[in-house]
Amino acid sequence: MTLAVRRAGLSPGAVFGYALARAAGIMMQDDDSILLLTPGPLTTSAGVRGAMQQDWASRGGDFAALTARVRKRIAQLAGAGRSHVCVPIQGSGTTALEATIATLVPRTGCVLVLINGSYGHRLHAICRRLARPAMTLEWPENTVPVARQVAAFLDAHGEISHVAVVHCETTTGILNPLDKIAAVVAAAGRRLIVDAMSSFGALELDVSGLPCEAAVSSANKCLEGVPGVAFAVMSRKSLAAASGNAPSLTLDLHDQWRAFEKNGQWRFTPPTQVVAALDQALKEHAREGGIAARRARYAKNCRTLVRGMKALGFEPYLPARIQAPIIVTFRQPANRRFRFERFYDLLAERGIVIYPGKLTKADSFRIGCIGAIDSGDIRRALGVIADVLDDMKVKLAGPAP
Ligand SMILES: *Cc1c(COP(=O)(O)O)cnc(C)c1O
């Protein structure tokens, strides 16, 4: 705790208040007191956190205007022209994925889910739970889906109406070839649903150009908002034809859309402060220079991270060519003194939060490059990682075998 306080540069009085708050179990977040190097929720800016200090009447005109602004800006970021609209929904990213599949895939449809990680498996689980017929094509976690194989599968299975794919598979940080997959899906006359959760706002996406039926993401990843609201940028035409598809009242994005179009209001209580924070996060995204600038900052974070970790003797799981600048998976070192739980705890004590691996095969852990952080923060994290290795008396000779 002393370390966290020192880093935050607080006065002795504030330190005392901070200690009291900590003792009372209240999380206080100072600008650099904690670094969330995870797949989300992420480190946010003081501006985004500050935007939550106000109460809003959810049915008031001001909040309707704010919602309209957020919807419009997100649609623009997705490259939506008149053809697509942004439909936000209360909840986590998975809520929006489930709502999108529930709304767009009719009971008579069939979804082909492309899988190369746990988020692909989750899309399949959603289809099964919604009782939507589904098939899967699976690749190893360190391999991208092959468009040619997707095309052949679609050829052989005329019953498939939709294809679902993850843009950046956050399980490993792999970048899937969205353009190539979209091209074969369109050529086969099927519809594409993209889980763009961990890429939206940082990697270019063009829903009308791809084309795709829906791209889904949430506030608390590359847009750098806080958790509690997610959204789908959806084809207007498909939405209009999707009345009555959803087997759930709250997950019905057709009805949700109609409500927004009718009077600008949310059907059910919106997370007002979370939406206000997203509005601020979108302003900061634009001020930074939009998608290109955000991508460049994350790419620099990623390069700094990979270079520094390699210098410490860690080995990235993926080849650089298919690594997205979002989150990096590292193999666990073979050194017997290296125990991940202890590594994680010692880092967390010093204000650096990383993420355990989720891989089915290789033992690994993950470090995120996204959030309101820059390469200076990554260098600080690398310094702490070096200290923790010293504490653990782990000396890595070089990449593990
Ligand atoms: C984070 C993430 C999700 C799930 O988001 P939740 O907010 O945890 O529900 C889905 N897909 C991908 C690719 C993700 O990175």
Does residue 167 carry a pLDDT above 80?
Answer: yes
Which token pair is 128?
A: 């099964």
Q: What is the pTM of this model?
A: 0.91
Q: What is the pLDDT of residue 24?
A: 37
On the CB side of 300, how many CA atoms lie within 13 Å of its CA? 12
Does residue 294 carry a pLDDT above 50?
Answer: yes
Total count of residues recorded for the chain: 401
Question: CA-to-CA distance for 217 and 228, rounded, in angstroms?
Answer: 12
Does residue 27 carry a pLDDT above 60?
Answer: no
Question: Quick one: which atom of ligand 1 is closest to the CA of 167?
Answer: 13
The backbone region for 351, taken as left when phi is positive above 0, alpha when psi lies in -120 to 50, beta otherwise, is left
Does residue 390 carry a pLDDT above 60?
Answer: yes
Q: Categorize the per-residue pLDDT at 2 as very low, low, confident or very high, splitting at 50, 70 and 90.
A: very low
Q: What is the pLDDT of residue 19?
A: 41
Q: Name which of 43-47, 151-155, 192-196, 395-399 the model is least confident about.
A: 395-399
3-state secondary structure of 129: helix
Q: What is the pLDDT of residue 348?
A: 96
Question: CA-to-CA distance for 32 and 310, rounded, in angstroms?
Answer: 25
Question: CA-to-CA distance for 352 and 278, rounded, in angstroms?
Answer: 24
Query: Which of 101, 118, 119 to mutate to test ligand 1, by most ligand atoms within 8 A of the CB atom?
Result: 119
Does residue 198 carry a pLDDT above 50?
Answer: yes
Q: What is the pLDDT of residue 287?
A: 98
Question: Quick one: which atom of ligand 1 is closest to the CA of 220?
Answer: 7
Q: What is the pLDDT of residue 32?
A: 55
Across 120-129, average pLDDT: 98
What's the pLDDT tens digit per position in 49-107? Answer: 999 999 999 888 899 999 999 999 999 999 998 999 999 999 999 999 999 999 999 99
Which token pair is 379?
A: 């260098």
Across 312-329, average pLDDT: 96
Question: In angstroms, what is the span from residue 94 Cα to ligand 1's centroid?
Answer: 6
Does residue 349 carry a pLDDT above 90?
Answer: yes
Q: What is the pLDDT of residue 396?
A: 87
Across 173-188, average pLDDT: 98
Q: Name which of 185-199, 229-243, 358-372 the model is least confident about.
A: 358-372
Across 212-219, average pLDDT: 98
Question: CA-to-CA distance for 392 and 401, rounded, in angstroms?
Answer: 20
Number of other CB atoms surrounding residue 289 within 10 Å: 12
Q: What is the pLDDT of residue 4?
A: 39
Question: CA-to-CA distance for 220 and 378, rounded, in angstroms?
Answer: 19
Query: Which of 170, 220, 329, 355 to mutate to test ligand 1, by most ligand atoms within 8 A of the CB atom?
Result: 170
Question: CA-to-CA distance for 295 and 201, rounded, in angstroms?
Answer: 8
Q: What is the pLDDT of residue 15?
A: 38
Across 361-389, average pLDDT: 95
* DSSP output for 247-260: SSSTT-HHHHHHHH
Question: CA-to-CA distance for 48 and 280, rounded, in angstroms?
Answer: 6
Residue with tokens 């891989």: 359
Does residue 355 carry a pLDDT above 70?
Answer: yes
Q: Is 195 in the pocket of ligand 1 (CB under 6 A)?
A: yes
**DSSP, res 53:** S
Does residue 20 carry a pLDDT above 50?
Answer: no
Question: In angstroms, what is the span from residue 258 Cα to ligand 1's centroid?
Answer: 26
Q: Is 166 in the pocket of ligand 1 (CB under 6 A)?
A: yes
